[in-house]
């Protein structure tokens, strides 16, 4: 099969296998324009915050992966919406590179819709297992 990770089913299976192996996932969320209205256009992110809360409820590790250096703003915004996170621009898995490791990354500039659907499907499978 050419380009197997262009198939959402393959990506869901891989994500689920990583969950089974480690008991939790490392889920990366971009901040600006994924969970925070950076340009003040009146955007809301209800579906992302709902998904974030499901990740919290299942006990996954949440990593903020962002170019925004205002960590106080990030913490205040996430506290306001009661969104728990574990790290900002750091992952508990060392890669030996500058890249922050995540099992999946939700980012407005990197296929947010697809990543959201894949994560939601995987969380549904995990919930069904319980």
pLDDT tens-place string over residues 41-57: 999 999 999 999 999 99
Q: What is the pLDDT of residue 130?
A: 76
Kindly report the pTM of this predicted structure: 0.94
Q: What is the pLDDT of residue 10?
A: 96
Tell me, which fold does domain 4-129 have in CATH?
Rossmann fold (3.40.50)
Q: What is the pLDDT of residue 1?
A: 59
Q: What is the pLDDT of residue 96?
A: 86
Which helix (H) or strand (E) element contains residue 63?
Answer: strand 61-64
Q: What is the pLDDT of residue 95?
A: 86
Q: What is the pLDDT of residue 120?
A: 98
Cα(72)–Cα(102) distance, integer angstroms: 23
Q: How many other β-carbons are positioned within 10 Å of the β-carbon of residue 23?
A: 9
Residues of the chain with pLDDT under 50: none
Start-to-end CA distance of the chain, whole Å, equals: 32
């Amino acid at each position: 099969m050419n380009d197997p990770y262009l198939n959402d089913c393959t990506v869901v299976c891989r994500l689920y296998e990583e969950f089974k192996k480690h008991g939790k996932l490392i889920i990366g969320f971009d901040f600006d324009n994924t969970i925070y209205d950076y340009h003040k256009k009146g955007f809301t992110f209800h579906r992302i915050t709902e998904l974030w809360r499901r990740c919290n409820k299942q006990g996954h590790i949440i990593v903020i992966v962002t170019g925004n250096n205002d960590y106080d703003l990030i913490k205040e915004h996430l506290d306001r919406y009661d969104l728990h996170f574990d790290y900002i621009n750091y992952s508990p898995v060392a890669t030996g590179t500058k890249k922050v490791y995540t099992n999946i990354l939700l980012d407005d500039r990197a296929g947010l819709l697809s990543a959201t659907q894949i994560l939601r499907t995987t969380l549904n499978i995990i919930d069904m297992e319980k």
